[in-house]
Amino acid sequence: MSLLKRSLVLAVLMLAPTTLAQPSGELVIYSGRSEPLIVPVIRLFEQQTGIKVTLQSGTATALANLILQEQPNPRADVFIANDAGTLEFLKLKDALQPYLSEQIRKIPEHFRARDGSWLGVSGRSRVIMYNTKLLKPEELPKSVFELTAPTWKDKIAMATTRNESVIAWVTALRLVKGDEFTKDYLLKLKANGVVTLNGHTDVRKAVGRGEFPLGLVNHYYYHLELRDGSPVGVIYPDQGPTDIGVFVNAAGAAIVKNAKHLREAQRFLDFLASPEAQKLFAELNFEYPLLPGVPVAPGVRPLETLKLMPVRLDELGKELEKTLKLLDEVGLG
């Protein structure tokens, strides 16, 4: 090769990254999370990678069913859910594509599927929030099982039992206390006049306005209501030495089986487990980052200080249908 030719080849090689069109990837995400909580994370991913994301939002349950319908020819590459049970449910339907990278292995095993089918990205605990103008500290319940007492008749709000966080909590109760106990407990809550509202935002606002002294919510709803200036406090229930602990669920993500943009989907999951994305989740919604070393938002009680219910999140999915049947029988609304 002549010197001229050689230097030409070299020049072309050096220019290649800028002169040749880079295939800018695409990624289709179905997300069961509220858009303000996920869009900033997606935008940062697009900025960092040049990958163009198409986002379809809805309820996690509806999108999980859509993924099952589209299974032979999937449109979604990634599924984001507000609950690990929904992710595990799809895994059991063989609708997910496992992925376990070095970055993903840094997330504690408690919060992801052992085989890499899904990844927990942010944690949320089931707490009781209360109105500080209606209740004094010494009056507060310490356990969710106290809520069936006459003291709390008609004083508790919770989200509908169609909500994924509520369903997962009931599954966890079944796994720890058994079916019979759980059904009896929920029937007693119903008899005690527990009111089910459309969603957790309604619950936190109702408690904030003083319509109910107590509300069963995920911990970040307490923080959101407090930020809105309402007189609210939080109880982390069942923390005593013989108590069952508080239930901690994870919002998470998974790659859809036969995803058309597999490499982009894998990059997105690695990104969700990265310190930058974990920090965003903590700041946007007061959730627990699941990557060790990333701090919680100011005012949030760190996960390590809580006694957790002994339930692995990958146990939830296979129990989903049984829980739905039990909730149907109880008829809490």
Output the known binding site for Fe cation. Answer: 220-221
Helix, strand or coil for residue 73? coil
Binding site, by residue number, is 220-221
DSSP symbols for 149-190: SGGGTT-EEEE-TTSHHHHHHHHHHHHHH-HHHHHHHHHHHH
Structure tokens at 34: 């509220």
CA gap 169, 250 in Å, rounded: 11
Torsion angle defined by CA atoms of residues 274, 87, 31 and 27, in that order, rounded to the nearest 10 degrees: 60
Contact indicator for 126, 165 with CB cutoff of 8 Å: yes
Structure tokens at 295: 């701090």
Q: Is 216 exposed, middle or buried (0-12, 13-18, 19+ CB in 10 A)?
A: buried
In our burial notation (b when 16+ CB lie closer than 10 A, e otherwise), range 94-126 reads ebbbebeeebbeebeebbbbeebbbbbbbbbbb
φ, ψ for residue 247, nearest 5 deg: -85, 125
